Amino acid sequence: MRKYKSFLKICLIFCGGCVLRAAQRQPLLEVFANPIVDVAFRHIMSNEEIAMSLINSVVPDFKDNPVTEIKKAFDKIAVSSKRDAFMDFHATTDKKDKVIIEMQAKRHAMFDERALYYAAYTYSHQLSEEVLKRHDWHESLRLVYAIQFLDYDTQRIRGIQPKEGEEDLDRPFIDEVQAHPMREDEFMKHYVMTDQNSGQTIKRGMHLIQIELPRVTSIRALSPRQDNFVERSEDFSLSDWWYCVLKHAEEFDVAELGDDYGNRSAKFIYMPKPIYNAFKMLRREAWGPDLQIAYNRDDLEIEKYSTAIAVERHEGRQEGMIIGSLVGEFVATGKLSRKSLKGIKQNPLSEDQIRAIWNMRETEIAELGSGEEEEEIPEGRTVDDFIAYLKVKGVIATEGEGEN
C-alpha cells in the first residue's frame, strides 16, 4: 500500500491535471493531510482563528501575552543578493512583540544558527525609518520570538556527515546535545541570551523556541486509534488537542468529526471548535488541483528524506554496535582482545569519539549493542582508563583521524 501511495504521488506531480482528475474520482489515500508537510501547515495557518489557537495554546509565554494579529503574507528575508528565504508565518502579540513561526520536517546542519539569523533579521528590521530618526528609537524595540516546530528528535541525532575535506559543521551541535541531554519528558527548548557568569538574561531581546514533535509523549498526544481515546480525550487541554492534530491527523476517520449541520455518527468525537476547523481545512477532498499537487510533492520529499535517514541510522547502528561492544568488552574485562584491537587500529577512534560513546545514556548504549543493561561503568573504571589503555596499545587516533 505504501509503495502504491508513493507511486500515486509521483503520478500526481509529473502527470498533472489528467491524473489528478482521475484520482479525484477515487477515494484519497488519506482523508486528512499531514500538517507536518509544509503546504498543509501553511494552509491551516492561513486561517487566523486556527493560527492563534495553535500558537497561544502550545507556547507558555503567550498565556498572558497572546498572539492577536496575523500577518497573512509570507515575509521575505534576505539571505544573499541572489537568494531569498521565506518565513512560514508572522504574528504580533497583545504587547506588540514579534513572532515568526516555521515548520521544519527535515533537519540540516547549523539549523539553530539559521533560526537565529531569521530572529536577528526580524529584530533588527522591526523599526521604521521614521522611528529610527528619533533619539529614543531604541525604546520602541520589541521582543522577538522565533518558533520552530521540528519533526525530529535532537537527542537521536548522530550528525550529518560532511563531504570529504569539508568542516564538520554538525560537531558543535552534537557535542552540546551529548553534554546537556533533554529529560525524557521534555520536548520544548527555549533559548534566551544568558550571561554565563551571573545567569542574568536579556529577556526583551530574542527568544528561540523549538518544539520537537517526536518527543511529545503519547499522554499529551494520543492517537485516535488507541484504546479509550474518546473517554481520555474528554480531559484534553487545547494544547493536547493540537499535539494530537500535529502528530496524528492522518489517522482520523471523517466520521469522527460530524458535520456543520450537527449530524453525528456513532464514531463522533467532541473537539474544540479551532481543532474541528483545522480538520476541515486538512480535509483533502476540498482542496483544489494546485494545492493537491504541491502537497504531494512536499510529502514525497519528506518520504525520500525519511528513507535516507533510515539508511543512515541503520549504517550508524552497525558502527555503533561495534563501538558499543568494545566499550562493553573493556567494562567487563578491563582489556580488549587482539581481534578488537586490530579492528580499532584499522578504524582509529579519537578521544572525543571515545568519550561521547562512554558518556551515552544507559538506554543508548544498550541500543548500540554493548550488552550492558545495568551498572554499565563499574565503580573505579573510567573513560580515562579506557583512553590510557588504547594509548598504550597504540590504537587511538591522532589529531585529524577518526573525525569522519
User: Which tens digit of pLDDT belongs to each residue from 7-30?
Assistant: 444 444 444 444 343 333 333 446
Domain that includes residue 253, residue range = 32-125+140-154+173-282
| Burial label, 68 (beta-carbon count in 10 A; 0-12, 13-18, 19+) | middle
In a domain, 252, yes or no: yes
In a domain, 347, yes or no: yes
> Cα separation of 118 and 11, whole Å?
36
Non-local CB neighbours of 304 within 8 Å, separated by 6+ positions = none
In a domain, 15, yes or no: no
The reply to whether 87 and 186 lie within a common domain is yes
| Burial label, 284 (beta-carbon count in 10 A; 0-12, 13-18, 19+) | middle
The reply to whether 81 and 195 lie within a common domain is yes
* Residue 201: strand pairing partners: 194
Kindly tell me the number of DSSP H helices and DSSP E strands found in the chain. 15, 8
In a domain, 306, yes or no: no
pLDDT below 50 — which residues of the chain?
Answer: 1-29, 73, 81-83, 261, 307, 309, 311-318, 361-378, 400-404
Please, what is the angle between helix 273-282 and helix 38-45, to 10°?
Answer: 130
The reply to whether 178 and 265 lie within a common domain is yes
For 195-247, how does the pLDDT look when each residue is reduced to its tens digit (9 = 90+)? 999 999 998 899 999 999 999 986 677 888 888 888 888 889 999 999 999 99
> Cα separation of 211 and 357, whole Å?
27
The reply to whether 95 and 204 lie within a common domain is yes
Strand, coil or helix: 67? strand
Strand, coil or helix: 201? strand
**Burial track 152-182 (b if 16+ CB lie within 10 A, e otherwise):** bebbeebbbeeeeeeeeebeebbeebbeeee
Q: Which of 282, 302, 332 is the last residue of a domain?
A: 282
Q: Which of 267, 282, 297 is the last residue of a domain?
A: 282
In a domain, 8, yes or no: no
The reply to whether 198 and 249 lie within a common domain is yes
The reply to whether 273 and 333 lie within a common domain is no
> Cα separation of 117 and 75, whole Å?
14
How many other CB atoms sit within 10 Å of the CB of residue 32? 24
Number of structural domains found in the chain: 2
Spatial contact of 13 and 19, defined as CB atoms under 8 Å apart: no
The reply to whether 325 and 194 lie within a common domain is no
Strand 76-78 with 84-86, pairing: antiparallel
> What is the separation, in whole angstroms, between the first and last Cα of the chain?
38
Spatial contact of 384 and 355, defined as CB atoms under 8 Å apart: no
CA 25, 30, 31, 35 dihedral sign is: negative
The reply to whether 226 and 113 lie within a common domain is yes
The reply to whether 274 and 330 lie within a common domain is no
The reply to whether 149 and 199 lie within a common domain is yes
The reply to whether 243 and 200 lie within a common domain is yes
The reply to whether 107 and 191 lie within a common domain is yes
